[in-house]
Amino acid sequence: MKSAIVTGANGFIGGAVCRELLKQGMEVTAVVRNKESLAYLAEYDNLKIVEAQLTEYLNIEDKMPYETDVFYHFAWEGAYGPILGEYKQQIKDIEYTCDAITLASRIGCKKFIMAGTINELELLQFFHAEENVPRKACIYGISKLACDFMCKTLAADLGIMFNVAIIGSCFGPGDHSRRIHNSVILKLLEGKAPTLVSGDTMHDWIYIDDVAKMFVCVGKKSVNMKNYYLGHKSLRRLQEIVEDVRDEINPQVSLKFGEIQSSFAIDYSLVDLNAVYEDCDFEICDDFKDNIRKTAEWLKQQEGL
CATH number at residue 33: 3.40.50.720
**Would you say residue 184 lies in a domain?**
no
Q: For residue 127, is pLDDT > 80? A: no
Q: For residue 225, is pLDDT > 80? A: yes
For residue 300, give the H/E element and its range: helix 288-303
- CB of 170 closer than 8 Å to CB of 118: no
- CB of 232 closer than 8 Å to CB of 204: yes
Question: Mean per-residue pLDDT for 36-49?
Answer: 96
pTM of the model: 0.96
- How large a percentage of the chain has pLDDT more than 90? 85
pLDDT the model gives residue 263: 62
Q: Quick one: which of 70, 18, 71, 69 has its CA closest to 47?
A: 18
The domain in which residue 47 lies consists of 3-176+203-235+269-286
Question: Mean per-residue pLDDT for 51-66?
Answer: 97
**Would you say residue 296 lies in a domain?**
no
Question: Mean per-residue pLDDT for 105-113?
Answer: 98
CA distance 111 to 108: 9
For residue 298, give the H/E element and its range: helix 288-303
**Would you say residue 128 lies in a domain?**
yes
Q: For residue 129, is pLDDT > 80? A: no
**Would you say residue 161 lies in a domain?**
yes
**Would you say residue 155 lies in a domain?**
yes
**Would you say residue 227 lies in a domain?**
yes
Which of 11-20, 148-157, 254-263 is predicted least confidently?
Answer: 254-263
Q: What's the domain count of the chain?
A: 1
Q: Is 146 left (phi over 0), alpha (psi -120 to 50) or beta?
A: alpha
**Would you say residue 79 lies in a domain?**
yes
Q: For residue 261, is pLDDT > 70? A: yes
**Would you say residue 187 lies in a domain?**
no
